[in-house]
Structure 1
Amino acid sequence: MSTTWSKATLRIHSRTATPQAIANDLGRASSAPASSPFWLLDLEESAEDSLDETLQAVQRFLEEKLESLRGISEEAEIGVMLAWTPRSGQDGIQFNERLIFLLSQLGAYVTLDTYLG
């Protein structure tokens, strides 16, 4: 049986605000290198989290920071990258209605990156 893992990264690229300004607005430092034009934050709690647990962590962060993120989204592109290894056989991704709503409030895109190993 193969090991499964998942990772979620919130990515913000602003036309007007620096990554430091975004960090100040959200109260979280970026995990991107200082020279990067992007503000990045890994949202999973553990690399061993299931995809469902990682999606719950994304939802919690978006709910907690929704008002700040709405303001940022007026001048920035926001996206969530989900990387994961599926369970053996068949596996799938399910977004609940609330997570879809939160992403839509921000005009956020979602990138799905599946690793088969």
Structure 2
Amino acid sequence: MKTKKIATIVALLLTCLSFSQNSFTVKDMADYQNKIMIDELSLTEEQTKKVSEVNIKYATKLRALIDREGSMFSKRDDMKKISTAKNDELSKILTEAQFKKYENDLVPKIRKHIRKNMKL
């Protein structure tokens, strides 16, 4: 369980770093997450709409956090809160199997994508 939380936090940190080092927009991040989740989790139309709303909501929150003054380290707790809130919302939209796949497979895939495309 701790490993999954750490992986999610690392993915959020990488997301934040990519925002700060590139012109990677809120829409870019949400669109990528939407695409990968739709493809990999076989989302229904209803799930797709709800997941898209969640992704844009939390990408916007991350962008606002990144734009705030202070070091990334000082923002860690806020990132963790954002991650936890997002996961809570997603767990209510996705089936148990979809959510497990998201945590175990997609979070690392998103992190890898960010590393590759953002040249971290």
| TM-score, structure 1 as length reference | 0.37
Greater strand percent: which structure?
A: 1
Greater helix percent: which structure?
A: 2
| TM-score, structure 2 as length reference | 0.37
Between the two structures, name the one with larger relative contact order (CA 8 Å, sep ≥ 6).
2
